[in-house]
Structure 1
Amino acid sequence: MTVFDNAPAPLGEYYRILTAGIDAYADGEELLPILDAKLDFEGPIAGRLAGAARFLVGVRGFIANVKSISPIHLVADSGHAATLYDAELPGGTVRFSEFFVIQDGSIRELRIQYDPADYTAKGGR
């Protein structure tokens, strides 16, 4: 059991997909139903992106390289969530924090924080 086991439904599914591997990810078809079509995303490398389709392309690189995710903390209510976790990449561990807005059972907003230099140095793309 991890802290993600008590996450709102879309988040539990989101983290399951992130760790299922690139072969399971394929074109992101499984992730798409839990993302709002107008997803508002912001991250240190991609910057700000609008739309779930653009996010699906970017997250593919993470999924291709992540070996595991070790959840540390989750805070959630009915419409917001924040997570802290360590992601094991080919070159070592990188710490991530993610902040979500959840509306109508889907992820509407996602803000990710991590050290982009550390991420790329450890094999992230």
Structure 2
Amino acid sequence: MSAAVTIDESPTLQRYYGILTGGAELYRDGRDLLTLLSEDFVFDGPVAGRMAGGTRFTHGVRGFIESVRGLAILQAVVTSGGAAVLYDAELPNGTIRFAEFFDFDGDKIRELRIQYNAADYRASGGR
């Protein structure tokens, strides 16, 4: 069993959440995010469903980055093999709670499963 660490001790998660909150101007084409994802990356979420491929994910996450005004990490459990992160995202018309579950392959994200209320996300100004 891997020893637990914090997000601050995980360079991969530090970069990931830094990208999510860095704004659309810095995000550009998602190239920095793509470097965090493994070649066999898989994403699963309430709007996009399950999809393979980092490039598709980087295009989809752009709408979140354009909408988010701030993140407040509420709880995180991080090991070398994966992580579970609960946070509130401040959007233009409200705050939405997200739960993200990561599987790592070394310093890369191999799989990301995300849970949130899609209707509330859209109503709060999420894209």
Q: Report if the CA contact (8 A) 1:71-1:86 is conserved.
A: yes
Q: What is the letter of the counterpart of residue 34 of structure 2?
A: L
Do structure 1's residue 115 and structure 2's residue 117 form an aligned pair?
Answer: yes
What is the percentage of aligned positions where both structures have the same residue?
Answer: 53
* TM-score normalized with structure 1 length: 0.94
Q: Counterparts of 1:114 and 1:20 in 2: how far apart (Å)? A: 21
Q: Report if the CA contact (8 A) 2:16-2:36 is conserved.
A: yes
Do structure 1's residue 5 and structure 2's residue 8 form an aligned pair?
Answer: yes
* TM-score normalized with structure 2 length: 0.93
Q: Report if the CA contact (8 A) 2:80-2:106 is conserved.
A: no
Determine the structure 1 residue equivalent to 2:3.
none
Determine the structure 2 residue equivalent to 1:48.
50
Determine the structure 2 residue equivalent to 1:79.
81
5+ residue gaps, structure 2: 1-5
Structure 1, residues 36-63: CA drift from partner, whole Å, max 9, x if none?
1221100000001101001001000000
Structure 1, residues 83-114: CA drift from partner, whole Å, max 9, x if none?
00000000010000000001121000000000
Q: Counterparts of 1:44 and 1:105 in 2: how far apart (Å)? A: 26
Q: Counterparts of 1:34 and 1:81 in 2: how far apart (Å)? A: 14
Paired residues, number: 122
5+ residue gaps, structure 1: none
Q: Counterparts of 1:32 and 1:94 in 2: how far apart (Å)? A: 25
